[in-house]
Amino acid sequence: MSSTEQHLKVLRLLQDHPEITQRQMAQELGISLGGLNYCLKALVEKGWVKMENFSRNPNKLKYAYLLTPNGVRAKTRLTAHFLKRKMAEYEALKMEIESLRYEMDNTQE
């Protein structure tokens, strides 16, 4: 998975579940906790995600991850780019399937 795709997946997950823990995120995304932490730091440095402590929570290590306005815009751009790439892959795959079907039809005669 590319870092762009990983960033998009993290942004989508955070938008839907801002109170999710890093351990839960890593498990949900199928990546290591260290890899997720590295990704989150990059997103915070880019200004796409803001980490906030739950001030009333007795567990001071509990955070909420909030997408910033720049993060929402970045997620939209990444989603459009990802969709465009996947549509191109889909079209290429469709053509390959048709070619294989044609080959199979012509070799069975």
Classify residue 62: in a domain, yes or no: yes
Question: Is the separation of the CB atoms in 78 and 48 below 8 Å?
Answer: no
Please provide the DSSP assignment of 44-106 as one string.
HHTTSEEEEE-TT-S-TT-EEEEE-HHHHHHHHHHHHHHHHHHHHHHHHHHHHHHHHHHHHHH
Q: What is the CATH number of the domain that holds 72?
A: 1.10.10.10
pLDDT at 62: 67
Q: What's the pTM?
A: 0.74
Q: Facing residues of 52 across strands?
A: 64
Domain of residue 7, residue span: 3-84
> What is the biggest distance separating any 2 CA atoms in the chain, rounded to whole angstroms?
75
pLDDT at 55: 57
Q: Facing residues of 64 across strands?
A: 52
The one-digit pLDDT tens for each residue of the chain (109 residues) are 788 899 999 999 999 998 888 999 999 999 999 999 999 999 999 999 998 876 565 655 567 888 999 999 999 999 999 999 999 999 999 999 999 999 998 886 5
Classify residue 92: in a domain, yes or no: no
